[in-house]
A = this chain, B = another copy of it.
């Protein structure tokens, strides 16, 4: 019998072990451009190892997944952080596990965004591939571009696998 994993609301504090939440809510800002613009600085660390790579800006059109979904495989990027920021207010689900060589089932965490949030996975953090959930969604991505292997995949042992399911009906 597979254990369930329920996504909890994404908050900066809860996500801190895995990276940053990219949002304006509750964050400090300063004015620029003669008070015309509120700038919320430095919401996520772009951490790209320079060896044969560089930070780049990409866009991604994601088709939605249906939940429940069996979490079987995670990936990590040993050479860079990876940020996703949704356009058009799309919420999405993130599944993460701490940095390390193994992934234990009890260490898996799932979060659902509120539509106004992006995330930045810290370098080396295990995560499920992008999980748009309601409808197709477009994301800004900021991560490493360049040659060389920057994606490790891990297949979870059967006991570590979880069924990702909504609490809500």
Question: B-contacting residues of A (Cβ < 8 Å)?
Answer: 22-24, 29, 32-34, 36-46, 48, 54-63, 65, 83, 85-89, 118, 120, 129-130, 138, 140-142, 145
Contacts and interface: CB of A to CB of B under 8 A. Distances in A.
Contacts of A24: 59, 61, 138
A117 to B, nearest CB: 11
Given A42-B58, A44-B57, 10 more contacts: A24-B138, A36-B63, A37-B61, A37-B129, A41-B145, A43-B56, A46-B55, A55-B55, A57-B85, A140-B140
A22 to B, nearest CB: 6
Contacts of A32: 60, 129
A129 B36 contact: yes
A54 B46 contact: yes
